[in-house]
Chain A
Amino acid sequence: MAYHSFLLEPISCHAWNKDRTQIALCPNNHEVHIYRKDGAKWSKIHELKEHNGQVTGIDWAPESNRLVTCGTDRNAYVWTLKGNVWKPTLVILRINRAARCVKWSPKENKFAVGSGSRLISICYFEQENDWWVCKHIKKPIRSTVLSLDWHPNNVLLATGSCDFKCRIFSAYIKEVEERPSPTPWGSKMPFGELMFESSSSCGWVHSICFSASGSRVAWVSHDSTLCLADAGKKMVVASLCTETLPLLAVTFITENSLVAAGHDCCPMLFTYEESQGTLTFGGKLDVPKQSSQRGLTARERFQNLDKKASSDTANATLDTLHKNSISQISVLTGGKDKCSQFCTTGMDGGMSIWDVK
C-alpha cells in the first residue's frame, strides 16, 4: 500500500483517468487539479477553474477521456482535452440547490447528477442543437441525493439519499439508446420508473454501489449500517449493524465482497453470503504501525492521569494510514468483480492505494 499526502485540507472528491497515470481532485475549493504520476512523485499539470462553488463530484470517462464535474454552484461542466488545455462546456442542470454527486454512464453517452434539489438530472448530448440537455427524476425522492451508481446496462441508476433510502430508477433515454432488455430488477424500464426502493434505514445513504454484474446493490448509511439488496433473491435486503463509526464510501471488489471506509479512517472488508443472505465484517485492511509499546514509568502514568484523566495512551494517536475520515473509494485495477487495487481519499488530504490480496 502506498500513501501520498496531496494537501493539508480535505480532498473533496477525485477521479482517475483510464490508465491510472493521472488523478483529478478537488482540493476543497472551487477548482479541480489534475496530477500526473512521474515515477514516485506526483506533479500538478492542470488547474481547472470554472466553478463558482466547491466541486462536489468529479468523474473521468475512461474511453472518451472527458471529465464531468459538479459543484455547489448548481452547475455541471463537461471538460474535453483540446491539445494541452481542458475546455469546459456548461451543462444546465435546472436545479436550485447544490449538486452533490456525478457519474458517467458505462457507455459515456449520459451522466447523472444528484443534488440538494431532491432530484436527479440525467444529462445527454443533443446532436441537433450541439448542447447537453437534461431530464429530471423527481418522484419519490424526498431529500438530497448523496450518491449514485450506474448499472452495467447503462439504463438503471442506483441512488442514495438523505431521506434514508436507496432506490434504483430507470434513466432510459430513448434519444441515445435502444430499449434495454429485462434485468433481475424488472423488465419495464420507462424513464423515471422506480425499480426498487429500500425500507427506511435510519441514516443518510452516503454511498451506493452496484456489483459488477448489476444484480446486487450495496449501500452504507449514517446509522453505521451496511446493506445489500440481491435481485437474484427477489430483492431481499441483507443488513449489517456495524460496530464502527458511520461508513462514507463502499465498493464491491468481487461479486461477494465489499470494501467500505468512513469515519474510522481505514478501509474494511465485508463479505456477502448468498445462501444465508447475510453480511459479515471481514476485518480492517489497515496494517497497524509497529509502535514501540514500551512500558510507562509511574511518573508518566501519573502525568497522563493528571492531564487526560486516563493512564491509557493507546488512543492518543491514530494508527491508521489516513489521519482523518475516508470520504471516497475508487477501484483502480480489476474492476468490481476482480479488484486487485483500490484507492481511498480523505479529509486528511491524503490519497492511498491499497492492494487486495
Chain B
Amino acid sequence: MCQVEEDYNGLECKQEKIPVPTLNRKCMKCKEGTAVLIIRVNDSFCRSCFKEYFIHKFRAMLGKNRVIFLQEKVLLAVSGGAASCSMLSQVQEGLSREAPKKLRFVPGIIYIDDGGACGRSAEERQRSNALLKSIFTETGFTYFIVSLEQVFSLPTSVLVPGTSDPDPSNPSYKQAVDQYIKEKQTLTEENVASAVAQLSIEDSAYSPEHKLALERLFSSMKTLTAKEDMLQTLRQHLILHIARENGYSKVMMGDSCSRLAVKLLSNIALGRGAALASDTGFSDPRYGDVVIVRPMRDYSSKEIAFYSRMFNVPSVFISGLDTQTHDKTSIQRLTESFVTNLQSDFPSTVSTIYRTSEKLHTVMPPQSQTAEPASKCLLCLCTLDTKVDKASAFHATLVSEQLSQIKLQDPSLDAPAQSAEQCCTEGQGCGPGGCCSSNRLPSHQDLKTLLCYSCRLTIKDMVATNTLPPYIITEAEKRQKRSQMKMEISEYLLEDDEED
C-alpha cells in the first residue's frame, strides 16, 4: 500500500480525485474574483486574496510567537531559493508599511557561498554572487556575502554556546511595545537604515589554501549523506559566527513546511531524534545568545512558488550538493522523494507531519545554565544523548558494534595518550603550536566521545579526520584534555556533602 508505483488493477484503493472543476471557478474567500490557484485540497484563491493571505500568515506567525523584540537586530539567512527570497520580500513588505502594525526590527542579510563544497566553478560562483548582490542592494539592508572557505579561519568560540542576556530589566513583549510607542523613534529610522546599509560586507574572496582544504574535507567523506550533514553544520557555524560578531541576536531561516517535513523524517533516519524539537520547531535556542527562528514554516512549497512567480520575487537558483542526483544517493534525497510522491496521492501528508512536529517539545534539564560545555555535542551543539547508562538502546548498539568488529591491537591506541600526559604536567593544556598538538591529531576514537549519535555517524564516514577545520580540532583537543584532567584529579575534588 505504501509503494509509490504500485499498480491497482481494478481496485479503487487510490483516493478519488476531486471532480475536475470548470475553468471559471470563483475564489472561495471573496467569491468574486476568478481563482488562479488551489492550495491544500480544495481551497481556491484569486490573486489579491492570495496575496493578502500570504502576507497575513507571515505576520501572524511572528505575532503568535513573540520572540522578536523591537529594534532587535535580526539576520536573514538567504540561500537564493524561492523560500528565503520570499521571506526577504515579506520582511521588506512588513517594514515598509505605514500602518501602526509595522514590523519593527533591524534586518541584515547573510548569504553563504558554498560553491567550493558543491563543486561549482569560480565563474559560476561569481555570477550568482553578483546576481544576489544586486538583489540585496535593492532592499537597502546590510548584507554579508561570505564564502564557506571562511570556515577555516573561525575561532573556537563558535562551538561554545553563549549565554543569553539575563538582563533583569528585560521587559516582557507587551511592556516593550508600550515603551516603544511612548518613545516614538520613527524619525531617525530612515537615516539609520541608509547608514547601516553602507556597512555591508562582501567577503567572498577566499585563499587557495582554504579552497583546497575545503575540497579535501568534502572528498574525505564517503557518502553524500555525510557530506550534506557536514555542509549543514559548517553553514550553521559560519552564520552563528557572523551573527555574534555583528551583534545579531536572532537569525531567520527560510525553511518551508514541506522542507521541514522532509527534514523531520530524514533527521529521524540520521539519528538526530533527540534534537527534533529544536531542529524543526519555530525557535531553536541551542546556541544560547543567538536564536534561530523559522517564520516560513507554515507555508507549503506550492504557496511559496506561486507567490514568487505571481508577484515577481527575485530569486536565484543555485545548484547544491544533491542537484540532479538519483533518488537513492543520500538519505535526505530519498526522504524528499518519498514525501513528495506520497503527497501527490495523499495531500494531507505534509500537513500531518507538520502538525506532529508542532507537538514536539524539548524537556529542558533543570540545570541547563550551569552545564559544562563538554555536555554539548562538539559539532551540532545539541545536548549529548550518548551519556546514558548501560540499560539503554544506545549502549546496546555500541556493544553489538564492538562484537561485530575484529579487534585490532589495542595497545597502539593507548601509547599516544601516555606521551601526551607526560608533557602536559601543568594541567594547562598546550595551545596551538605547542609541544604535542602537532604530534597528536584526533583519531576517530577521541572525537567520538565528544559527539552526539548522528554526528558520530557523520565522522565515521570520514576517511581522515585531520581534514576538519582547525577550530574543531583545537576545541576537540581542549575538551579531551579537560576531561582527562578531571579524571586525574577527581579523587582530590571535594564533594559538596563532605565535611572537613
**Chains A and B come from one and the same complex:** no
Residues of A within 8 A of B (CB): none
Residues of B within 8 A of A (CB): none
